[in-house]
A and B are shown apart, each in its own frame.
Chain A
Amino acid sequence: MSNPFDDDEARFHVLVNDEGQYSLWPAALAEPAGWSAVLRDERRAECLAHVEAVWQDMRPRSLVAATGQQDGPGAAE
């Protein structure tokens, strides 16, 4: 059994949800509700580089909004 998220040969999307959390997603599969694609049909490595670039603060958006804090363990510099 090969996991669809680990297939280096396959194409992927990068999805993001309302909490600002990102997910790799196999391009061959239907996109789940509540997520929107920020990058489509790319090689896995490209997708991961994209996530690395755009996802800097891992804290859920709702928490950030509630506290108004700017820093935390979920944030990467």
Chain B
Amino acid sequence: MIPLSHAQQRLWFLDRLYGADPTYHLPVVLRLRGPLDRAALRAALGDVIARHESLRTVFPDTDGTPWQRVLAAPAEGPELTVTAVAPTELDAHIQAAASAPFVLADEPPLRADLFVSAAADAVLLLTLHHIVADGWSIEVLLRDLATAYRSRSGGAGPPDWPELPVQYADYTLWQRELLGDRHDPESVAGRQLGYWRDTLAGAPAALPLPVDRPRSAVAGHPGAGVAVDWDADRHRELLHLARQQNCTVFMVVQAALCALLCRMGAGTDIPLGTVTAGRTDEALDDLVGFFVNTLVLRTDLSGDPSFTELLHRVRGVALPAYAHQDLPFDLLVEELNPPRSADRHPFFQVMLAFDTRVRQELDFGAVTVERPAVDVPAAKADLNLQLTEHVDADGTPRGISGVLEYAADIFRAETAGLLADRLSRLLDAAVRAPGLPISAHSLLTPDERDQVLASWNDTARQLPVTTLPAAFRAQAARTPQATALVSAHGSLTYAELDQQSDRLAGGLRELGAGPGTVVAVGLPRSAALVVSLLAVVKAGAAYLPLAPGDPDERLRMMLHDARPVCVLGDRELCTRLDGGEVRVVTPDELTTDPAPGTGEASGTGPALRPGHPAYVIYTSGSTGRPKGVVVSHAAIDNRLRWMQAACPLAADDRVLQKTPSGFDVSVWEFFWPLRVGATLVVAGPDEHRDPAALAGTIVDRHVTIVHFVPSMLDLFLTEPAAARCAGLRRVFCSGEALPRESVLTFHQVLPGVALTNLYGPTEAAVDVTRHDCVPGEQGPVPIGRPVWNTQVRVLDDRLAPCPVGLAGELYLSGVQLADGYLARTALTSTRFVADPYGPPGSRMYRTGDRVRWTPDGVLVFLGRADDQVKLRGQRVEPGEVEAALLAEESVGGACVVVREDTPGDQRLVGYVTPAAGPSARGSVHPQALLASLADVLPGHLVPATVVVLDRLPLSPNGKLDRRALPPPPVDVRPGRAPGTRVERALVRLYAELLGVPEVGVEDDFFRLGGHSMLAVRLVRRIRAELAVNLPVQSIFRHPTPAALARQLSRSEAAEKAFGPVLELRSDGPGEPLFLVHPGTGLSWCYFRILEFLGTGRPVHALQARGFAEAVAGDPLPAPPRTVDEMAADYLAQIRKIQPAGPYHLAGWSFGGLVAHRMATRLEQEGDRVAALVVLDGYPEPPGAETASRPLREALHNVLGVPPDDAAGNARNPAELDGRVLDEVRRRFPPLADANDHGIRAALRIGMNNLRLQYAFVPELLRGDMTLVAARSGNPSTWQRFVAGRLTVLNLDVGHHDLFSTGAAETGRLLARILPGRTPPPGHDSEET
């Protein structure tokens, strides 16, 4: 058998991995004009195929090892499919034909199609599989085809050409010989391997590219391309620079591509893939075959080199790389075993292919031939720049053209186009000034620069500048009798609020408050707080909010820092801060008598100006010392004016004030409605953390506008009462990234309510950008566009503007900037810095937030600049993992962090809360979540652990507090022995295939040295030994025996329906109900009552062991010998779902007996039973005989009616004939599809249950029991086994009809019996 060349093996494997896929098709299109001789064409094709064995080679395999089989040359020539097509449909036909799959195992790898659109106009499409050809081969093939066609059409018969000296098969063998044994360090393979091992050590596993969308878990990307066309002038300049620097044009392009990627955020260690012709002997030159090899060119861009320096580095990389080009790339991958993933190319994700071509003219005699370009059907890397350098025969540059292919699932066409443009621009800039550092060249065109700096920041508005008190006073004068404020203690009109705050302002002035001073306010949320804040600003001072809940020391520190005139506090605060350096007074003490002229004009001292501070709000500092942000009236006035223009409030709007005054969102809550005539609704002091209370207030007080921090919004939306808040008009979000999932939930729960995402730091007057969330949007929720008189700048680390799509740090400038940090001038000078793009002398604030522009000019928040999450060298966007977790039905909230609880062991940990509510932790199954995540996410994004929490911890301001997340429980993963049959089998197969003595269930196939070829063989062995057909990809996605075993069991649907626990309802806020199967052993009957039980709790049903095996035709496990043994097994099962009591148990018939035993065992073990319901099941009276006819009774249980005599007399299931088995199939749905063997095995399980039943004597139950007795039940048999209260409820239904015709009554009764800690849903539905 002729083996495959190494390169062929890789393609063969990819074909197996992804299935037939046009990724590796090579379509060649020839437009033929003139008198085409079709017979001659077909014969000529036959001549070419006869000449090149490769064109008639197929690739069958033996046990997963492929080999080359050369078919005989077809005597008639190959099939030439001729199709008449309209010219407009030609392209579609070509696409379809070129994409049709090849079956490599037995179909020739060359297809020929002739499309005829006019009498003398035809298009020949040759489609080759890359496994037998490469770019060079196509030139050989066309040249030979032309020769043969001329000969055939001229009547000369077959062409007279010399035999080829060697064929591809010879090359295959020769290649193996040349390379030698790669394990021999003296062999060519061994030496070259050593070189590559050193060269590629520590290379990045994945290059961070400026992608538009997250990568999907699976490669096989749809590809697309943008044209690249560089004219002869640019070509000449590149050539000139290349010659000057003793380089090639290829190297110049390579350097520019590396520089571009580096500039676009890919880092300074850039591996590129490239291809070499691989025809290292001239005997190979005339062969059609797959010779090209892939090389990795790894360039170091650290230290911001000049282009000249970079060129030298590139040259220093390329020369030795080419000297070691014989080692096939797939061998390299196999040996070096880089971190692998099915979703990306190993070693590099960007390719550069470059060839120099003097195009040949194809001579088809009387027929003229053109070769139009063909669309590329699929990308082979994330980005693949394929260029052809056109030169005249004398070497004169004629231009460079080609295509930038991109993986269309991660890049948008605009982005690829921008990349291509920027590459050209960078090349031009570098050629002009090769001595400048690569970071000095702008990637932006003047237009783009103008766009990001000016057009998208064109926010200038001429506004009358005022102050907070002036705006309020003006409104109070306009609508004195309108309601200004509503709180738990009543309401105030504008006039009342104006007067009360005036009186307090007078008192403050007397204490010395005035413009430029500070007054601290430490009051709980109340009307008095609003009055006080207004009074402070009316007095001209800036207010400093103090959170009464803060520790004394922190309050004193702030007071020491800010030196306020006084503190306005309640009595409690007065006591706490008594004796400190600042006077503390209650508003009542200070309020002066109403006297004429206490208004604005009465103050003495300087007038309040817009430049004066309006408030000082402390934010946490990275060093741990909080810093006070000083914000002027001018800044906040702009913010409030913009808000009223962007989202106008009307007089009947009611804004909820719920944000603590120490957080700046509260500033607009307080002052916005009061300057436009709307009403401020003051929530209770602690309400902001209680979603149910908030919902109540929103409904009761007719609130129309409310703000949420996104994590609080999530909590709010899971609150059932949230849906009643339909009176809301708009919800604002800010404070942290708003997840798309929250937006989707929002629109579901509150359709018709507007949702606006705001972004801004305290340092720029609350918010500086805004985005209105519209249903139907996808992807990350933008933070939007800048507000009035505000500029947003996305700058790189040289403070140059970032182009669209590139992550940079966000800087803000404009009128909303704060003055700085109170008494922290040095800190201020590092954060409020000179703005190189604003008016002379202006400042900008650097936020520390990473953002990027979208092509539409909106900003997308990416995270903090200072805590980017990287795990094992790969970028991890926790939001992506969180989104995946949130997509799971059982998950309500999610948060993902990288933890390092053991030094050096960084792990991605997911925290989730149950969708069903805090009490339903049992409804979330971490292992199942992980298995599901592995289905949708690349491996590095799947958390190591998922921890279920009742709720995610929030910091005092309601933001998610990541630091308060508990460490995950220590898991027992490493070295765990295989637990299941499948795990045992997999562990053995791994060990055999990998040649290692022992494998643990958590060992990674690839880390143990497994590679793609071995993965194919593993899949084969699994199929042979476990009878499960898996795609090869599943090995990549689930590389450990444990994960693979989970996957295997998932692919066995039977496992679910016939497994030991049947999940009837997976979630619900209440405690789960566990039902025990009746004598049949299966619990499907309980589906009938599910709808009557309501949605309040999860429902699980136990099933007898052995059904999965029975249905699969496997031997049955040993049956339980006693009810006690069965009960113990079932308790172990339910404890996996609900680790501790109180338990809710119920069972029908035999299941009632088992449930009783489970309950008594629980009591004996000290656990609690909340409810035990026995549905018409009874212990056998003392002295009862062992079942005399167990098969008859088992049949009765299954059929629901007594079996006829013929069947009833049988003693052994083996005696049952097909008629009876069919009857079982008809009457017992679970076995409808079972084969005879399965039905007989199921009946044996039923018979065993009967034996257990007759032998069972219950223990004494200390607690209560409810018995549902059907017609002719015998409740008295239970009396001596129940010490607690025995409640008997009768149903006028036959025993066998309880879960068929009587299911509705049974279900309703059971729902009523079950105690409800979370009762209503079930009961409500029962009544309707």
Contact A17-B846, Cβ < 8 Å, known A24-B833, A58-B630: no
Q: Is the C-beta of B525 less than 8 angstroms from some C-beta in chain A?
A: no
Residues from chain B with Cβ under 8 Å of A3 in the complex? 797, 809, 846, 848, 865
Docked pose: A27 CA to B797 CA in angstroms: 13
Interface residues of A in 16-63 (CB under 8 A from B): 17-19, 21-26, 28-35, 47-49, 51-52, 55-56, 58-60, 62-63
Docked pose: A26 CA to B518 CA in angstroms: 34
Contact A51-B825, Cβ < 8 Å, known A66-B609, A73-B542: yes
Most buried by A among B822, B828, B832, B839: B828
B574 CB, min distance to chain A CBs, angstroms: 23
Residues from chain B with Cβ under 8 Å of A21 in the complex? 820, 828, 832, 843
The chain A residue sitting closest to B612, CB to CB, is A63
A60 touches B819 (CB 8 A): yes
The chain B residue sitting closest to A71, CB to CB, is B516
Docked pose: A26 CA to B846 CA in angstroms: 14
Q: Is the C-beta of B798 less than 8 angstroms from some C-beta in chain A?
A: yes
Most buried by A among B518, B562, B829: B829
Residues from chain B with Cβ under 8 Å of A32 in the complex? 834-836, 840
A66 touches B825 (CB 8 A): no
Query: Which of A23, A34, A62, A76 contacts B829, CB < 8 Å?
Result: A23
Q: Is the C-beta of B807 less than 8 angstroms from some C-beta in chain A?
A: yes
Q: Is the C-beta of B796 less than 8 angstroms from some C-beta in chain A?
A: yes
Contact A23-B825, Cβ < 8 Å, known A67-B606, A69-B516, A72-B613: no
Residues from chain A with Cβ under 8 Å of B820 in the complex? 21, 58, 74
B841 touches A35 (CB 8 A): yes
Contact A34-B840, Cβ < 8 Å, known A66-B609, A72-B516, A74-B630: yes
Docked pose: A26 CA to B839 CA in angstroms: 19
Residues from chain B with Cβ under 8 Å of A56 in the complex? 825
A4 touches B611 (CB 8 A): no
The chain A residue sitting closest to B628, CB to CB, is A73
A13 CB, min distance to chain B CBs, angstroms: 9
A15 touches B562 (CB 8 A): no
A24 CB, min distance to chain B CBs, angstroms: 5
A60 touches B516 (CB 8 A): no
B606 touches A68 (CB 8 A): yes
B561 CB, min distance to chain A CBs, angstroms: 9
B830 touches A5 (CB 8 A): yes
Docked pose: A48 CA to B623 CA in angstroms: 16
Docked pose: A5 CA to B611 CA in angstroms: 27
The chain A residue sitting closest to B835, CB to CB, is A32
Residues from chain A with Cβ under 8 Å of B868 in the complex? 1
Residues from chain A with Cβ under 8 Å of B609 in the complex? 63, 66-67
A69 CB, min distance to chain B CBs, angstroms: 5
Residues from chain B with Cβ under 8 Å of A26 in the complex? 799
Q: Is the C-beta of B913 less than 8 angstroms from some C-beta in chain A?
A: no
Residues from chain A with Cβ under 8 Å of B96 in the complex? none
A58 touches B616 (CB 8 A): no
B796 touches A1 (CB 8 A): yes
Residues from chain A with Cβ under 8 Å of B829 in the complex? 14, 22-24, 47-48, 51, 55
Docked pose: A74 CA to B629 CA in angstroms: 10
Residues from chain B with Cβ under 8 Å of A28 in the complex? 798
Residues from chain A with Cβ under 8 Å of B828 in the complex? 21-22, 55, 58
For B602-633 the 0/1 string (1 means CB < 8 A from A) is 00001001011100100000000000001000
The chain A residue sitting closest to B809, CB to CB, is A3
Contact A17-B517, Cβ < 8 Å, known A2-B797, A35-B841, A69-B606: no
The chain B residue sitting closest to A73, CB to CB, is B518
B870 CB, min distance to chain A CBs, angstroms: 12
Residues from chain A with Cβ under 8 Å of B846 in the complex? 3, 5
Query: Which of A29, A51, A74 contacts B826, CB < 8 Å?
Result: A51
B833 touches A5 (CB 8 A): yes
A4 CB, min distance to chain B CBs, angstroms: 5
Docked pose: A72 CA to B787 CA in angstroms: 29
A59 CB, min distance to chain B CBs, angstroms: 7
Residues from chain A with Cβ under 8 Å of B840 in the complex? 32-35
Docked pose: A2 CA to B1224 CA in angstroms: 72
Residues from chain A with Cβ under 8 Å of B562 in the complex? 73
Residues from chain B with Cβ under 8 Å of A35 in the complex? 834, 840-841
Query: Which of B542, B616, B833 contacts A25, CB < 8 Å?
Result: B833
B842 CB, min distance to chain A CBs, angstroms: 7
Residues from chain A with Cβ under 8 Å of B831 in the complex? 5
B798 touches A4 (CB 8 A): yes
For B862-889 the 0/1 string (1 means CB < 8 A from A) is 0001001000000000000000000000
Residues from chain A with Cβ under 8 Å of B798 in the complex? 4, 28-29
B611 touches A62 (CB 8 A): yes
B809 touches A1 (CB 8 A): yes
B613 touches A74 (CB 8 A): yes
The chain A residue sitting closest to B610, CB to CB, is A63
Q: Is the C-beta of B1258 less than 8 angstroms from some C-beta in chain A?
A: no
A19 CB, min distance to chain B CBs, angstroms: 7
B115 CB, min distance to chain A CBs, angstroms: 53
Docked pose: A33 CA to B839 CA in angstroms: 8
Residues from chain B with Cβ under 8 Å of A24 in the complex? 829-830, 833
Docked pose: A22 CA to B819 CA in angstroms: 11
Q: Is the C-beta of B129 less than 8 angstroms from some C-beta in chain A?
A: no
B611 touches A66 (CB 8 A): yes
A69 touches B834 (CB 8 A): no
Residues from chain B with Cβ under 8 Å of A6 in the complex? 830
B516 touches A48 (CB 8 A): no
B534 CB, min distance to chain A CBs, angstroms: 19
Q: Is the C-beta of B22 less than 8 angstroms from some C-beta in chain A?
A: no
B834 touches A63 (CB 8 A): no
Residues from chain B with Cβ under 8 Å of A30 in the complex? 836
Q: Is the C-beta of B1053 less than 8 angstroms from some C-beta in chain A?
A: no
Residues from chain A with Cβ under 8 Å of B265 in the complex? 1
A57 CB, min distance to chain B CBs, angstroms: 9
B203 CB, min distance to chain A CBs, angstroms: 21
The chain B residue sitting closest to A69, CB to CB, is B516
Q: Is the C-beta of B515 less than 8 angstroms from some C-beta in chain A?
A: yes
Q: Is the C-beta of B1008 less than 8 angstroms from some C-beta in chain A?
A: no
Docked pose: A35 CA to B841 CA in angstroms: 5
Query: Which of B515, B797, B832 contacts A4, CB < 8 Å?
Result: B797
The chain B residue sitting closest to A55, CB to CB, is B825
For B782-810 the 0/1 string (1 means CB < 8 A from A) is 00000000000000111100000001110
Q: Is the C-beta of B707 less than 8 angstroms from some C-beta in chain A?
A: no
A16 CB, min distance to chain B CBs, angstroms: 9
Docked pose: A1 CA to B800 CA in angstroms: 13
Q: Is the C-beta of B850 less than 8 angstroms from some C-beta in chain A?
A: yes
Residues from chain A with Cβ under 8 Å of B833 in the complex? 5, 23-25
Contact A58-B825, Cβ < 8 Å, known A25-B834, A29-B798, A73-B517: yes
B843 touches A23 (CB 8 A): yes
B509 CB, min distance to chain A CBs, angstroms: 15
Query: Which of A1, A51, A69 contacts B797, CB < 8 Å?
Result: A1
Docked pose: A73 CA to B611 CA in angstroms: 12
Residues from chain B with Cβ under 8 Å of A25 in the complex? 833-834
Docked pose: A1 CA to B831 CA in angstroms: 17
Q: Is the C-beta of B977 less than 8 angstroms from some C-beta in chain A?
A: no
Q: Is the C-beta of B823 less than 8 angstroms from some C-beta in chain A?
A: yes
Docked pose: A29 CA to B797 CA in angstroms: 11
Docked pose: A63 CA to B609 CA in angstroms: 8
A58 touches B606 (CB 8 A): no
For B910-925 the 0/1 string (1 means CB < 8 A from A) is 0000000000000000
For B541-556 the 0/1 string (1 means CB < 8 A from A) is 0100000000000000
For B512-553 the 0/1 string (1 means CB < 8 A from A) is 000111100000000000000000000000100000000000
Query: Which of B515, B517, B563, B842 contacts A34, CB < 8 Å?
Result: B842
A23-B843, A69-B516, A73-B562 known; 9 new pairs, CB 8 Å cut-off, are A5-B833, A23-B833, A34-B842, A47-B829, A58-B825, A67-B516, A67-B609, A73-B630, A76-B823
Q: Provide 14 A-B residue pairs closer than 8 Å at the C-beta atoms, listed in order of the A residue.
A: A2-B797, A3-B846, A6-B830, A25-B833, A28-B798, A31-B834, A34-B841, A35-B841, A48-B830, A59-B819, A67-B609, A71-B517, A72-B516, A73-B517
